[in-house]
Amino acid sequence: DVKVTQSSRYLVKRTGEKVFLECVQDMDHENMFWYRQDPGLGLRLIYFSYDVKMKEKGDIPEGYSVSREKKERFSLILESASTNQTSMYLCASGIPSVYEQYFGPGTRLTVT
């Protein structure tokens, strides 16, 4: 079974803090994704990585950066957390040319 794990289920941070969200997959997938999920807006892609050290901006990259130093690990960084970044963050992985994405359980981040 594919397993995508995320470092925290729940996280509370203060405005201005630097926040790291970690994602690890165990299936040697090339592609990894970070989404945020908000009521009424659905899942929106923040960043995508198709290989180690390779990344592409998604639809809403502002205020976020990513790091992929190893194939299995993809980190999302909030450089200076703001209250409008309070959301559910979902990581996913997949293989190029295969439609399925495998999602982690999500991290519910609250910025106060």
Partner 1 sequence: QKEVEQDPGPLSVPEGAIVSLNCTYSNSAFQYFMWYRQYSRKGPELLMYTYSSGNKEDGRFTAQVDKSSKYISLFIRDSQPSDSATYLCAMQTSGTYKYIFGTGTRLKVLA
User: Which of residues 15 and 27 has its CB atom nearest to partner 1 in the complex?
Assistant: 27
| Residue 18: other Cβ atoms inside 10 A | 10
Minimum Å distance from CB 112 to partner 1? 21
Torsion of CA 80, 44, 23, 106, to 10 degrees: 100
User: Which of residues 2 and 80 has its CB atom nearest to partner 1 in the complex?
Assistant: 2
Contact 74, 51 (CB under 8 A): no
Task: Collapse the DSSP code of 6 into the 3-class scheme (helix H, G, I; strand E, B; otherwise coil) and give the result.
Answer: strand
Residues at the contact surface with partner 1, assessed by CB under 8 A: 4, 9, 31, 33, 40-45, 48, 50, 58, 90, 92, 94, 96, 99-101, 103-106
Minimum Å distance from CB 40 to partner 1? 6
Contact 75, 10 (CB under 8 A): no
User: Which of residues 19 and 55 has its CB atom nearest to partner 1 in the complex?
Assistant: 55
